[in-house]
Chains A and B, each alone.
Chain A
Amino acid sequence: MRTETRHEHFQQPSLIGNVLRRLHIDIPLFVGLVLTSSLSLIILYSAGGQDMGVLSRQATRMLMAFSLMILLAQVNPAQFKRFSAGLFGLGIFLLLAVLIMGTIGKGAQRWLDLGFMKFQPSEIIKITTPMMIAWYLSEHPLPPKSKHLFIAVLLILVPTLLIAKQPDLGTAILVASAGAGVLFFAGLSWRFILAIVGVLASLAPIIWHFMIPYQKARVITLLNPEADPLGKGYHIIQSKIAIGSGGIYGKGWTGSTQSELNFLPESHTDFIFAVFAEEFGLFGCLGLLTLYLFIIGRCLYIAVQAQDIYCRLLASSLAFTFFVYVFVNIGMVIGILPVVGVPLPLISYGGTSAVTLQCSFGILMSIHTHRKLLPR
Chain B
Amino acid sequence: MPSRSYPMRDKFLEERLFLNRIVAAFITIAVLTSGLIVRLIYLQIVGHIHYATLAKENSIKIIPLVPTRGMIYDRRGRVLAENTQTFKLEITPDKIGDTPGNLNETLLRLQKLLNIPDEKIEQFHKLRARQKRFAPTTLLTNMSNDEMVKFAVVRPYFPGVDIKTHLVRNYPFKELSAHVVGYVGRINEKELKSLPIAEYGGSTYIGKLGIESSYEAILHGKTGYAEMETNVQARALKTLNEVDPIAGANLYLTLDMDLQKTAYDALDKFNGAVVAIEIKTGGVLVFASRPGFDPNPFVSGIGSAEYKALTSSDDQPLYNRALRGLYPPGSTVKPFIALAGLEYEAISKQTRLHCPGFYQLPNDKHRFRDWKKTGHGSVGMNEAITQSCDVYFYRLANLLGIERMHNFMQRMGFGEKTGIDLIGEKAGIYPSKDWKLKEKKQRWYPGETLITGIGQGFTLVTPLQLARATATLANKGSVVTPFLVDKIVAAAATTKGPETHKDNLNLNASNVSSIFSAMVNVVHGAGGTAKSIGHGINYQIAGKTGTAQVFNIKQGAKYNERSIGFKLHDHALFISFAPADNPQIAVAVIAEHGGHGGSVAAPIAAKVIKQFLGGNGENRNPP
Contact = CB atoms under 8 A, between A and B. Distances in A.
A93 B7 CA distance: 35
B237 A248 contact: no
B195 interface: no
Nearest to B5: A145
Contacts of B58: 238, 241, 257-258, 261, 263
Contact of A141 (B8, B54, B232): B8
A244 interface: yes
B29 A141 contact: no
A184 B24 CA distance: 10
Given A184-B25, A186-B21, A336-B35, 8 more contacts: A141-B9, A244-B52, A246-B48, A247-B44, A257-B58, A262-B231, A303-B22, A336-B36
Contacts of B33: 289, 293, 327
A245 B52 contact: yes
B303 interface: no
A334 B14 contact: no
25 contacts: A141-B5, A142-B18, A143-B17, A185-B18, A185-B22, A186-B21, A187-B17, A189-B3, A240-B43, A241-B58, A243-B51, A244-B44, A244-B48, A244-B51, A245-B52, A248-B44, A257-B59, A261-B232, A282-B41, A282-B44, A286-B40, A303-B22, A316-B21, A323-B32, A336-B36
A159 interface: no
Contacts of B9: 141-142
A300 B26 contact: yes
A296 interface: yes
By Cβ-Cβ distance, the 6 closest A-B pairs, closest first, are: A244-B51, A245-B55, A245-B52, A261-B231, A262-B232, A187-B17
A247 B52 contact: yes
Contact of B45 (A141, A257, A282, A323): A282
B5 A285 contact: no
Interface of A is mostly: helix
B4 to A, nearest CB: 9
A289 B58 CA distance: 29
A336 B10 contact: no
B25 A248 contact: no
A96 interface: no
A363 B623 CA distance: 101
A142 B14 contact: yes
A327 to B, nearest CB: 5
Contact of A248 (B45, B47, B55): B45
Given A261-B231, A262-B232, A309-B14, A244 B47 contact: yes
A307 B43 CA distance: 44
Contacts of B10: 141
B48 A263 contact: no
A261 B230 contact: yes
B37 interface: yes
Among B25, B32, B39, the one with the most A-chain Cβ atoms within 10 Å of its Cβ is B25
Contacts of A312: 18
Nearest to B11: A376
A70 to B, nearest CB: 27
B36 A289 contact: yes
Interface in A154-192: 184-187, 189-191
A323 B3 contact: no
A285 B21 contact: no
B6 interface: yes
A246 B58 CA distance: 14
